[in-house]
Amino acid sequence: MTVFLNGAFVAPEDAKISVFDRGFIFGDGVYELIPVYAGKPFRLDQHLQRMENGLAEIRIGNPYPRDEWRRLIGQLLERHQGQQLSLYVQVTRGVAPRDHVFPVPAPTPTVLMTVSPLPQPSKAACEQGIKAVTQADYRWGRCDIKSISLLANVLLRQHAADVGAAETILIRDGLLTEGSTSTVFIVKHGVIAVPPLSHMMLPGITYDVLLELAQRHGAPVAVRPISEAELHAADEIWIASSSKEVLAVVELDGKPVGDGRVGPVQREMFAWYQAFKNDLIAS
């Protein structure tokens, strides 16, 4: 493995970050996790745009222009072999004395990129679906920023693991927001529904892909608030993310979703997504 850190490609054991880095002290930074298929980053421009938006929101200067990001990512990927990889990009505010106030002058941001094998949903998860549980969404009020401060997400995801489920689906003020690590879609009477983007949700790359695929194939979609009651009464529930792609939830809080099997609309979307991904690999 080769790591990119602050302008240099180094071995992992040589990648050193100061204990005074604000990413370590405060979780002061943003990140992206980008699937890579056959050496091609999936929707790279959209991932970079989301990271640029996050940097602007927390007032960290973007370390590189878009073309330089592409060049450095390409150089890092050239050093790694594998058909399906996971590219992790993280930018923190940098090294400064510990103080909650932004340091003046602004320090040089710390830039880290790593590559690892891309986690893939198991065949059983794809074909038979997964279990999920619900929990109150107690994360902070700017979930639209892909912050490296992920303790709430970690605790919520661990809650699912503790009870043998694959994901925790979050409810805030009686409404569905998202999963601890995913976007959540439902289907009722053949109509796909998903909550509208807000400060309470990450603007997911896969969220956009699934909406585009539904429009392309003429599947009915409603982007609207979804109540907790609607979630529990859904014919189908899906979770979606860059690493999970699109998976059916067949059991929620110990009760079957619909007939307790992967639904027909999810099977169509899964096939559309695989074709979309394969077209990218072949291009």
141-166 burial code (b ≥16 CB/10 A, e <16): eebbbbbbbbeebeebbeebeeeebb
Q: Which of 146, 188, 244, 255 is catalytic?
A: 146
Does residue 65 have a cis peptide bond before it, meaning omega lies within 30 degrees of 0? no
Distance CA 110, CA 149 (A): 16
In DSSP terms, 185 is beta-bridged to: 238
Query: Is 123 designated active site?
Result: no
Q: What amino acid is encoded at 25 in this protein?
A: I
Provide the H-helix boundaries in the chain: 22-26, 44-57, 66-78, 123-128, 151-162, 205-216, 228-233, 264-282
Place of tokens 């370390």: 63
What residues are labeled active site? 146
